[in-house]
Structure 1
Amino acid sequence: MGLTSATLLTVLIALTAAAPLLLVWSWRHLSAPWRAPAMVVGIVAAQLLAVATVGVGVNRVYGFYPTWGSLMGQVTMAPPAPLPAGPHGGRTAAGLSFHPASLRSDRLPRGAAAGTVRHFLVTGASSHVTGRVAVWLPPGYDSPRWRHHRFPVEMMMAGAYSHVDRMVHDLAIGSVFGPEVSSGAVPPFIAVFPEDNVAWPQDTECIDNPHGVKAFTWLAHDVPAWVEATFRVSASARAWDASGWSLGGYCAVKLQLLDAHQFGSAVAVEGFFGPELDGTTGTLASVLRRDPELAHDSSPLWLAEHHRLVSPHVLVASSSTDPQSFDGSRAFVAAARSTGVQLYLVPDLGHTVDAWRLILPQVQRWSSVFLTAT
């Protein structure tokens, strides 16, 4: 009986409905010494059944955990097929060698392979947004051997209502990226985690609202400018990849399509391809209705359907068991009509940050092919 099957939901609904009837029967037919214990157990069981029924029903709609295996963190994955090299070619991890120095951090697993995470409060010069930014530095970043090396950058964005500290923790960045770099599976790079929920509790959809926060400018211009001024990174678009999950995936693709001079590639994991306008986005829906140009620029799907995408390098990761992203992902890839936009389907993924963490090594290896360093 599948976790999202109609049979399971029907059984739970039936049991939840029967529970009060069973309580009434128990009160009338059990002897006095057994009534109180039976009522306590029955009430607890009825509450648990009600919670389980609601949980399974919501899970069927949103696809957080499509299978029992995904609920337990067990997912079967295959690596993405390689994309053809872009006009600037691609450098694989095998073409680089790296010998990390020993570094330790209290925020990450101890050991030479973990790298370090630093946290900053940044104010954007163009957007005037003040937001938190976490930066993961690879093992050996401070080594004298690499003092003249300019690293490529992976800018990573999470979904709505997922903040920087939570994202870094849930993705277990040091445990995932450190060993990948130390083993030579990917070249050394810097990972940047900007706050994309910059108008909390309002959702900006990574859009510059003419009457509100310039969320796109913050991500597209202010954060990269600050990173380039603060760390030894390359300013070339070939060295910058935008990556994200859910809403962050939508933001990542939009950054690559609208600002290819800054971001040479993008990865959308269970992402959307148009703004999700609801009660959390405030006046954004009315703003986009009045400004068709802004509305079109805010929709990667519309851009793919109506314009020829220039040198796109986009990996679109989804799963047939994720109702929130599957159809949209396929529609965007079909509309793009480009070998530079690749669909990566992984079985039994739910729409959770855990799914992103599970496939993070695979998508990072895809990104590393396009990231170059100086």
Structure 2
Amino acid sequence: MTTTLPPVPPSASRERPDHPDVPVTTLPLLSAHVLVPLYALTLVAAVVVLAGVRRSWRWCVVAVLAGAVVGTLLSWFLGDVLDVLGIPPTWVDRIWTGVVCALLGVAVVGLVRGRRLTRVVAALVVPLALVSGGLAVNRDAGLYPTIADALGQSHVPPLRLPDDPDPGTHRADAATWRPPQDMPAHGRYGSVRIPGEVSHFHARPAIVWLPPAALVEHAPELPVVVMLSGQGPGAAPANIIEAGRMADRLDAIAHRNRGLAPIVVMPDQLARASNNPMCVDGPLGNSATYLTRDVPDWVHDHLHAADPGADWAIAGFSQGGTCALQLGAGRPDRFGSWIDVSGQIGPVLQGGDDTVSRGFRGDRAAYAAAQPLRVLAERAPYRDSAAFVAAGSDDSRYGPVVPKVVAAARSAGVTVTERVIEGGGHDWHTAGVALAEGVEWFAHRTHLAR
């Protein structure tokens, strides 16, 4: 069963420690209240420049057309030919690249042929156009909700773990547990350090979300979802909370189920945003051991969680979705379920040769053995594994991977739920919805949800 989650407004009463906010860095970059005035100011400045050089209207026409053509070619070359971000540009990206270059053409005409005031305004058009275009693309991807996020400054404070009045004792079964009167209305999340004691992987701080049922005395033993972000500029566990709005979505799941929901652990599988260890153990870091040994060990020692296996799921978006496929196929003893949102068909860097040389020390046999579709075929049948595989309907790069993964998993005996997010691309809007639906699917699978 899969339930489509409606948008949930951020809750001012969600439990989180107090921490100072700097107003400028918390400016909401995705809000129409910020973007519309900026777009209007940019348009007005461009009109002022055009009015100041109206006698050179032919130059203006040439500049606008040339700028639009250059922008179109630039978007095609960087996005489709060089593939600098690993995903093709959306139509929003392409249009805004053309608009920005057209505005820059207007600014050039104003600087060359305008009088003093026109040149001053033309100089202002340049940063206005660049910022407007950048924020429009950012809003389309849903990546940086605030200036702090764009600067790599997370708003996620340290997690305050609940007190354990009965350490080491048997936990109540979630199926028979009843919520107490003093149970919080919302879950709690925060950052934690999960050391790589076995893997020696140098992970950045993780984020943990605890449902309301985990915040009371005699909390029940709860399933666990290990959820991974993507890889690329600004990639970090905080993307899941801030760009994916996961805390609000998880609160909605818990609210429908008497405060019960899986514990969601969001570790760092990258070590840094520009790194991609591909969720294997290799020269780029022992990411696989970190996720299958160090993270479960920390969860067992600090949280009221079920043991790894049938009551654990590995989930992720983009590169994190590829990791979910890899570890779900390769380690069903640790993760009985997996949630793959917009993942690739297997671990990869920029190209096949680069992947083998940098990620597997040139060992092609090791590279081939790490391909999850091969693992699925070789380890079949999977008698107890289940998968939730999703992508956006407009994701032309990773959407076509879904039917291939679904077919291979079903052939191996995995119970698969396939989901296509209508109108979704390869972005955090799609990822937030699909990951939350995957968590609810897992909650039904583990009998938390009714």
TM-score by length of 2: 0.60
Q: After TM superposition, give the deviation of residue 157 of structure 1 in Å.
A: 0.9
Residue equivalent to 1:71 = none
| 1:227 aligned partner, one-letter code | V
* Cα 1:291–1:158 shift into 2, 3 Å: same
* Cα 1:96–1:40 shift into 2, 3 Å: farther
* Cα 1:166–1:199 shift into 2, 3 Å: closer
Taking the aligned partners of 1:5 and 1:171, their CA distance within structure 2 comes to 20
* Cα 1:169–1:53 shift into 2, 3 Å: closer
**Match of residue 343, structure 1, among 418, 432, 442:** 418
* 1:234-261, Cα deviation, whole Å (9 max, x unpaired): 1151110111111111111211111101
Q: After TM superposition, give the deviation of residue 97 of structure 1 in Å.
A: 6.5
Q: After TM superposition, give the deviation of residue 224 of structure 1 in Å.
A: 0.8
Structure 2 matches for 1:90-239, cutoff 5 A?
98-99=178-179, 102=182, 112-131=184-203, 132-146=205-219, 149-160=220-231, 161-184=234-257, 187-198=260-271, 201-209=274-282, 211-239=283-311
Taking the aligned partners of 1:325 and 1:364, their CA distance within structure 2 comes to 21
Structure 2 matches for 1:221-300, cutoff 5 A?
221-278=293-350, 285-288=357-360, 290-300=362-372
Query: SS of the counterpart of 2:400?
Result: helix
Q: After TM superposition, give the deviation of residue 49 of structure 1 in Å.
A: 5.1
Residue equivalent to 1:38 = 118
Root-mean-square deviation (CA), in Å? 3.7
* Cα 1:185–1:268 shift into 2, 3 Å: farther
* 1:200-239, Cα deviation, whole Å (9 max, x unpaired): 6432111100x45211000012211221122222115111
Query: SS of the counterpart of 1:40?
Result: helix
Q: How many residue pairs get matched?
A: 320
Structure showing greater relative contact order (alpha-carbon pairs closer than 8 Å, 6 or more residues apart) = 1
Taking the aligned partners of 2:180 and 2:251, their CA distance within structure 1 comes to 10
Taking the aligned partners of 2:432 and 2:284, their CA distance within structure 1 comes to 32
Mean Cα deviation higher: 178-187 or 213-222: 178-187
Structure 2 matches for 1:10-25, cutoff 5 A?
12=99, 15-16=102-103, 19=106, 22-23=109-110
List alignment gaps of at least 5 residues for structure 1. 28-34, 66-93, 104-111
* Cα 1:136–1:47 shift into 2, 3 Å: closer
Do 2:192 and 2:207's aligned partners in 1 also have CA atoms closer than 8 Å?
yes
Taking the aligned partners of 1:314 and 1:187, their CA distance within structure 2 comes to 21
* Cα 1:44–1:307 shift into 2, 3 Å: farther
| 1:365 aligned partner, one-letter code | E
What percentage of residue pairs aligned between the two structures are identical?
23
Q: After TM superposition, give the deviation of residue 291 of structure 1 in Å.
A: 2.4
| 2:223 aligned partner, one-letter code | P
Residue equivalent to 2:91 = 4
| 1:205 aligned partner, one-letter code | M
List alignment gaps of at least 5 residues for structure 2. 1-89, 143-173
Q: After TM superposition, give the deviation of residue 17 of structure 1 in Å.
A: 7.6
Taking the aligned partners of 1:184 and 1:196, their CA distance within structure 2 comes to 30
The answer as to 2:402 corresponding to 1:315 is no
* Cα 1:285–1:320 shift into 2, 3 Å: farther
Structure 2 matches for 1:325-336, cutoff 5 A?
325-336=398-409
* Cα 1:98–1:42 shift into 2, 3 Å: farther
Mean Cα deviation higher: 288-297 or 46-55: 46-55
Do 1:151 and 1:189's aligned partners in 2 also have CA atoms closer than 8 Å?
yes
Residue equivalent to 1:352 = 427
Query: SS of the counterpart of 1:248?
Result: helix
Taking the aligned partners of 2:129 and 2:291, their CA distance within structure 1 comes to 44
Taking the aligned partners of 1:188 and 1:53, their CA distance within structure 2 comes to 39
Taking the aligned partners of 1:168 and 1:25, their CA distance within structure 2 comes to 47
TM-score by length of 1: 0.71
Taking the aligned partners of 1:10 and 1:199, their CA distance within structure 2 comes to 28
Taking the aligned partners of 2:253 and 2:280, their CA distance within structure 1 comes to 33
Taking the aligned partners of 2:104 and 2:207, their CA distance within structure 1 comes to 49
Do 2:236 and 2:273's aligned partners in 1 also have CA atoms closer than 8 Å?
no
Mean Cα deviation higher: 36-45 or 231-240: 36-45
Taking the aligned partners of 2:121 and 2:248, their CA distance within structure 1 comes to 43
Do 2:296 and 2:308's aligned partners in 1 also have CA atoms closer than 8 Å?
no
